[in-house]
Amino acid sequence: MDRTLLKQRLAERLEVVEQRIQSACRRAGRVREEVQLVAVTKSVSVDIAAMLLNLGITDLAENRPQEFWRRAAILPKANWHFIGHLQRNKVERTLPLVCLLHSVDSLRLLDSLEAEAKKRQCPVEVLLEANASREAAKHGFAPEEILDLHRQVGHLQHVRVQGLMTMAAYSENPEESRGTFAAVRNLRDQVKQHFPPPHDLRHLSMGMSNDFEVAIEEGATLLRLGTVLFEGLEE
């Protein structure tokens, strides 16, 4: 497809999503500035990721380390979020490129991040992934583990926990995600006081293409959107 036309169609998609975000904020009595769109570019070309930056989208995300490293190097101006499972042997290459790591799913990973961030003398901002829907195939801490985690993170000085991330079980009906999102928000409210500065559990990364409006109503501050922005665009 012609690049000009592609960019125009992308701009239209962004506008539709923007309107939906604004409506959900209004319904929830929230201000638009509380909610950040993070475009998940894993299903599209680097070319489209670059177009997003031109269209004013500042925050991009990938879920596979190799592709994350490659794209973050090509488009260093974006705020890059990593949203997939990160093995500890990939921490060293990932840290210099990441703005926010959404998917911390083990104490061992927290320890590796602390060691690497200390070595680099540079703090790293992370979210703890909550497996609130308790699906065996999903990564993340069980809710009760998160309730207990503050007892085991007193030594963290370079890792700054900024909130929780979750994925609801996939369903056609977004209302099915509401319980999971509300539970994760409650979990955050419960543990927030146990994470003194430099931690600050201000973020809730929840809501994908199928359920982001419900996520906004339940307090999401970061929306991770792919399909709703890109489906069918490059055909």
Ligand X SMILES: *Cc1c(COP(=O)(O)O)cnc(C)c1O
From the CB of 193, what's the least distance to ligand X, in Å? 28
| 40 counts as binding ligand X under rule CB under 6 A | yes
| 65 counts as binding ligand X under rule CB under 6 A | no
From the CB of 183, what's the least distance to ligand X, in Å? 18
Nearer to ligand X, 146 or 225 (CB): 225
| 86 counts as binding ligand X under rule CB under 6 A | no
> Number of residues in contact with ligand X, rule: CB under 6 A?
13
**Sign of the alpha-carbon dihedral angle for 51, 54, 56, 58:** positive
CA-CA distance, 198 to 184, in Å (whole number)? 21
| 44 counts as binding ligand X under rule CB under 6 A | no
| 224 counts as binding ligand X under rule CB under 6 A | yes
Q: At what angle do helices 3-28 and 46-54 cross, to 10 degrees?
A: 60
Q: Which residue number is nearest to ligand X in terms of Cβ?
A: 226
Instruction: Looking at residues 155 to 214 of the shown chain, list those that interact with ligand X (rule: CB under 6 A).
Output: 167, 208-210
User: What's phi and psi for 203, nearest 5 deg?
Assistant: -100, 145
Number of helical H runs and strand E runs in the chain:
9, 8
Q: Which stretch binds ligand X (CB under 6 A): 72-80, 146-154, 181-189, 224-232?
A: 224-232
From the CB of 197, what's the least distance to ligand X, in Å? 28
Question: Smallest Cα–Cα separation from 84: which of 127, 49, 120?
Answer: 127
From the CB of 190, what's the least distance to ligand X, in Å? 23
Q: How many CB atoms lie within 10 A of CB 58?
A: 14
Pattern 113-152, ligand X, x by CB under 6 A: ----------------------------------------
Nearer to ligand X, 32 or 170 (CB): 170
Contacts of 82 (CB under 8 A, 6+ apart): 61, 62, 63, 65, 68, 94, 98, 100, 101, 102, 103
* Helix runs in 121-226, H state only: 143-149, 178-191, 212-217
Nearer to ligand X, 34 or 231 (CB): 231
| 66 counts as binding ligand X under rule CB under 6 A | no
Site for ligand X, rule CB under 6 A: 40, 42, 63, 83, 167, 208-210, 224-228
